[in-house]
Structure 1
Amino acid sequence: MTTLEKDLVQARGARRSTRAPHRKHRTGLRRRTLRYACNALGISATVVFLYPVLLTISTALRKAADVAASPLGLPLHPTFANIATAFRNMDFARSVLNTLLITASATVIVVILGSLAAYPLARITASWSTWTYRLFLGGMAIPLFVGIAPLYITLRNMGLVNSYLGVILIEAGVNLPLAVFFYTSFVRSVPRELEEAAALDGCGALRTFGTTILPLLRPITGTLIMFVTLAVWNDLAVPLVFLQNPQQRTVMVNAYSYIGPHGFEPTTLFATAFLGALPLLVGFVFLQRLITEGITAGAVKG
């Protein structure tokens, strides 16, 4: 190699060595910018989602005159009179117990029947199984209001109007297609070798489902329970139509009763809405660890 060639090689190496720190600096700058942008986006999304909750609590703690003067103002002189009035007028304790009974019962029925129905639908490849699964999916696309009248006539003939059982059956039936969809998709991802191993140990179909498949459904069950709980707890149409006894009213029905034909009192309505959502908020705060573990458990099959 000549002297000129050596000089050229050394010059190229020098240029590369000077470019490397600049490239690292630009890469680090991009990463920091992306991280800051993601953090800003996350904070903005959090503020957007929390703003209605904060507005509800703020309005519930203010006097009617203050809200009329400044609808979006802060509770500079907070008062719990609105919450106490809503608590007393909506019979809060009884409403929560009624809602808990309906929600818990419907959720248990949905989880049991949905998992039992999804197991054969996921494993049997016959044409009737495919069409049955499609019928369940079709049930997710039918609005509840379409079937209100037929359901009311059916329950009236069965003597289940103004009964908790009738509302529980309707809520379970409405949410059952969602459970079948969730469970069927999950069971199809479970290896068949696990069931074959259980069959070699002498397990029948039901025992195989209970000992092998059901424990693997914990993550999807946690997600399904959250969906069904929110849907049943916040439902207004079914309890409003099928529970006409004031002693059987749910939280949402009592909250809706504060909306009159010509207007409503914001402080009382927002206090009622806050009380209606409070049990769910408390439950998720205290059970968030169990809910998170239930969702993430079994994510990696071993």
Structure 2
Amino acid sequence: MGPLYKFLLWVICLLHMYPILLVLISSVKTKHELAVNSFGFPREFTLTYFKTAFQTMHYFQSVYNTLLIAIVSVIGSVLIASMAAYAISRKNNRFYNTMYVVFLAGLIIPFQMTMIPLYKVMLGFHLINTYQGVIFIYLATLAPFSVFLLTGFVKSIPRELEEAASIDGCGMYRTFFAIVFPLLKPALTTVSILNLFTIWNDFLMPLLYLNDSHKMTLTVQLSSFRGLYFNDWSLIFAGVCMIVAPMLLVYLYAQRFIIGGITAGALKG
């Protein structure tokens, strides 16, 4: 890689890091300094807004709500999508090909088109303002991308392994969980991390289906800092830092798994 490419990569990296640095700097400024010196470094640091945001957002409870919904949704989506991908890739007939097209259609249809009818369905089943209702919706909305990514990985697994397992007396489910599922580890890790980021950063879904303040997620709690006639930007920036920090740490640790999983899929495909 030549020096020009390295220079361009550094420029792109700095352009992506600048908004994060700006939010972090703004979160430790006073309101007055943020108004008169929006883009400069603070002359005096203050952590008051972090303390206020921590208390106002009910941080630990909101983290619990977000993690509960995210972990259950990610585990469920991985299990369902992997089994669906296995069936679609191995049962090459019209029905399963049609099901694959249905999953792909889920990537095209925006969620905003289904909000009103889905809300009526959730209301009919008494799932509004429940963890279960939000988890069910995430399982459905995360399925198209998960199935799309995992199907390519399943097709790359040699059928001879499954035939050998069948000769040894393994049924379909045992073959899947004992042979195929462990071989999908790179893809499953990539799908799990990307789905976790999607749920953690989502605002619309919890806003629509969770009305109880004790069940709200972090992003919905953050929206309470912004009003119609008043915006406390220092408090908002502090809240953003507290929401982004956990997922930033997760990404720094898991980025090699994401890149490795996608790269492995590209090479196998």
Fold-level similarity (TM above 0.5): yes
Once the two structures are superposed, the pairs formed by residues 206-285 of structure 1 within 5 Å of their partners are 206-285=173-252
Q: Deviations over 1:66-108 (max 9, x none)?
A: 1111110112311101111111111111111100000001101
Greater mean deviation of Cα atoms: 192-201 or 85-94: 192-201
Q: What is the rounded CA distance, in whole Å, between the counterparts of 2:167 and 2:219 in structure 1?
A: 51
Displacement of 1:212 in angstroms is: 1.2
Q: Deviations over 1:236-284 (max 9, x none)?
A: 1110011000111100001112121235121111111111112212333
**Percent identity, aligned pairs only?**
32
Displacement of 1:291 in angstroms is: 3.8
* Matched residue type, 2:261: I
Matched, 1:135 2:102: yes
Matched, 1:102 2:69: yes
Once the two structures are superposed, the pairs formed by residues 180-219 of structure 1 within 5 Å of their partners are 180-219=147-186
Q: What is the rounded CA distance, in whole Å, between the counterparts of 2:180 and 2:259 in structure 1?
A: 18
Once the two structures are superposed, the pairs formed by residues 78-157 of structure 1 within 5 Å of their partners are 78-157=45-124
Tell me, which stretches of 5 or more residues in structure 2 are unaligned? none
Matched, 1:295 2:261: yes
Q: Deviations over 1:108-161 (max 9, x none)?
A: 110000001110100111111111100000011111111111111111111111
Q: What is the rounded CA distance, in whole Å, between the counterparts of 1:39 and 1:209 in structure 2?
A: 44
* Matched residue type, 1:220: A
TM-score (norm 2): 0.93
* Matched residue type, 1:295: G
Q: What is the rounded CA distance, in whole Å, between the counterparts of 2:20 and 2:256 in structure 1?
A: 24
Higher CA-based Rg: 1
Displacement of 1:293 in angstroms is: 9.4
Displacement of 1:297 in angstroms is: 10
Q: Deviations over 1:183-202 (max 9, x none)?
A: 11111111111111111211
Equivalent of 2:41, from 45, 66, 74? Answer: 74
Contact 1:222–1:295, Cα closer than 8 Å, also in 2: yes
Tell me, which stretches of 5 or more residues in structure 1 are unaligned? 1-33
The equivalent of 1:64 in structure 2 is 31
RMSD: 2.0
Displacement of 1:230 in angstroms is: 1.0
* Alignment CA distance shift 1:150-1:202 (3 Å): same
Greater mean deviation of Cα atoms: 193-202 or 292-301: 292-301
Q: Deviations over 1:205-226 (max 9, x none)?
A: 1111111111111111111112
Contact 1:56–1:274, Cα closer than 8 Å, also in 2: yes
Matched, 1:47 2:47: no
SS in 2 for 1:258: coil
Contact 2:190–2:258, Cα closer than 8 Å, also in 1: no
